[in-house]
Structure 1
């Protein structure tokens, strides 16, 4: 898994374009931009959400998830966040999502940090605000699977 601490979205998009083998004419037409503007987007560390949504549709990849995973790793939900048990009409008119959804990639990333000795269990709990019970459940459930590349 990539280090998601510093997201350079233009680079991720450029890499996906290369993987997808898309013709530049198709990209230009779909994005409603010039080839020069497209190449400029590849150098941008951030893009507006409407442009990012267009890229996500064109390349069939959820670029927003990069940011969601960043939030989960570097700014996990705290006690002051809206709980899924709180009636959504009470505190916000926005959709309420489950606050602790850890993707398999996040779990694998965390377990690899522990397994390789880059971080201790305590470091993971402190740095990423992952509850002790959650971390130990992962360690039990995925024991040895990280090294084997299973998930």
Structure 2
């Protein structure tokens, strides 16, 4: 899975095929035509309420894909940024980069195993600590 360039419609279509769900069931669930379902499959992005419905129908958290994108591609936070912010109660919760899902670990290990990226490239590009990467490699070695 490419977490950098997400095409949610294609991912939904793949999951539908994997689950062997008929398009008529999707049409009934969404109360729409096959043409509208096909348009969703072709769409790179979907409205959150539609994505939530797909997540419920397919029993898969499609929002996690975007969270994983943030873990891998969000810029590192500036040290001075938090010092300059005032501590009002309306500030958003901090995003924690230290949470790696199984999908992210598999994605990173696939990059290493296939030779697409070196360990150094992964450490630099995705800001994954060297010790963490080497622990994953050792743990998942076959």
Q: Does TM, normalized by the shorter one, top 0.5?
A: yes
Aligned residue for 1:45, secondary structure, equals coil
1:114-125 equivalence runs, <5 A: 114-125=112-123
Partner residue, 1:53 = 52
Partner residue, 1:104 = 102
Pair 1:15 & 2:10 matched: no
**Aligned-pair CA distance for 1:27:** 1.4
Partner residue, 1:126 = 124
**Aligned-pair CA distance for 1:8:** 1.1
**How many residues of Structure 1 are paired with residues of Structure 2 in the alignment?**
135
TM-score (norm 1): 0.74
Aligned residue for 2:52, secondary structure, equals helix
Change (3 A) 1:43 1:116: closer
Give unpaired runs (5+ residues) of structure 1.
Answer: 82-88
Question: Root-mean-square deviation (CA), in Å?
Answer: 2.5
Pair 1:66 & 2:47 matched: no
Partner residue, 1:85 = none
Moved more, 18-27 or 95-104: 95-104
Change (3 A) 1:93 1:33: farther
**Aligned-pair CA distance for 1:91:** 5.7
Partner residue, 1:113 = 111
Moved more, 4-13 or 113-122: 113-122
Give unpaired runs (5+ residues) of structure 2.
Answer: 80-86
